[in-house]
Structure 1
Amino acid sequence: MWIGLLYYFNVVQVPALGDATADKGGPGGAGITKYVAPRALWWFRWAAVLTWVTGAYFLLFGYGTPVALHKAFMLQEGFVTIGVGAWLGTIMLLNVWGLIWRNQKKILGIVPATDEEKAKARKVALYASRVNFILSVPMLMCMGGQSHGLPF
Structure 2
Amino acid sequence: MSVEESQPLISHLVELRNRLLHALACIGIIFALLVFWANDIYSLLATPLTERLPEGATMIATNVVTPFFTPIKLTLVVAVFFSVPYILYQIWAFVAPALYKHEKRLVYPLLLSSTLLFYVGVAFAYYVVFPLVFGFLTSTTPAGVTMATDIASYLDFVLTIFLAFGVCFEVPVAIILLCWSGVTTVEDLKKKRPYIIVIAFVVGMLLTPPDMFSQTLLAIPMILLFEVGLIFSRFYTKEQSDNDGA
The TM-score, its normalising length taken from structure 1, stands at 0.35
Q: Which has the higher contact order (CA 8 A, sep 6+)?
A: 1
